[in-house]
Structure 1
Amino acid sequence: MPQRPAVHLAVPVDDLAAARSFYGQVLGLAEGRSTDHWVDWDFADHQLVTHLVRVAPQPAGTSLVGQHAVPIPHYGLLLDEWRFHQFAERLRSAGVRFDIEPHRRFPGEPGEQWTMFFRDPAGNALEFKSFRDESMVFAR
């Protein structure tokens, strides 16, 4: 039986204990296999691996999207709207500082979406978003 494609994403972190706390406790991801220098996470049925490195990653810069300077690089997930808002509240309750607060982007356009940006303890930027109409994710 064919399986749906899954993404494997590896990100650098400079403190594995901080990564465990953030990804496991704050984001609520289930921990998978691990060693003393990497941890697998269940990222909505995709594999996210935090790899210990000596120096925290440095952002490449930003890219203007709408009215906001979006951090580059970044990664994240598409959520349904209810889950997006529930997740935003979880982050607020945990004291996560947003680079870009949860807000609606491109209202009335095909790509209308809720989006938010924040960083993990190593400085990796994450974006979580929710499209008004999921069939419009790749619409032009």
Structure 2
Amino acid sequence: MRETDKIFHLAIPCKDLDETADFYQKLGCKVARRYDDRVTFNFFGDQVVCHLSPEKIDPNPKMYPRHFGITFLDKAAFEETLQSAKKNHLPFFQDKMVRFGGKQEEHWTFFLQDPSNNLLEFKYYHDESMVY
């Protein structure tokens, strides 16, 4: 279970701070700090830091095994994020789909691709017990 007195931290590469800030702000993430070499976001309550390192960008990203994202416990919040991504013309790596259909771990998921080819997954499990 999530401990409310702790915040998860993730550092990822980016090729351009301005386009990175634009993408994450359109996703609804607030800029917490910005320096010449990085920008830090409140990413749905956790901390994502995008470090300027254009030489570290993956030119051919794949969903597995490397991605990060949010698992929603609220179906409406999942749908709201999906609609916001569409409205803001954020690039989809994978449209909304069902994984493990008909099984207890069935969930909806979609993937976005940020300007530096980092892949973000957003998902909602119909059975909350399958989150962990």
TM-score (norm 1): 0.83
Q: Does 1:126 align with 2:120?
A: yes
Identity of aligned residues (%): 33
Aligned-residue offset at 1:71: 4.3
Helix, strand or coil: the match of 2:55?
A: coil
Equivalent residues of 2:12, 2:48 under 8 A apart: yes
| Paired position in structure 2 for 1:91 | 85
Aligned-residue offset at 1:33: 1.8
Helix, strand or coil: the match of 1:55?
A: helix
| Paired position in structure 2 for 1:76 | 69
The one-letter code matched in structure 1 to 2:70 is L
Aligned-residue offset at 1:39: 1.1
What is the rounded CA distance, in whole Å, between the counterparts of 1:21 and 1:45 in structure 2?
A: 18
Please tell me the root mean square deviation across aligned C-alpha atoms, in Å. Answer: 1.9
Equivalent residues of 1:81, 1:114 under 8 A apart: no
The one-letter code matched in structure 2 to 1:46 is D
What is the rounded CA distance, in whole Å, between the counterparts of 2:100 and 2:114 in structure 1?
A: 26
Identify unmatched segments of 5+ residues in structure 1. 63-69
Q: Which stretch shows the higher mean deviation, 113-122 or 97-106? A: 97-106
What is the rounded CA distance, in whole Å, between the counterparts of 2:41 and 2:89 in structure 1?
A: 22
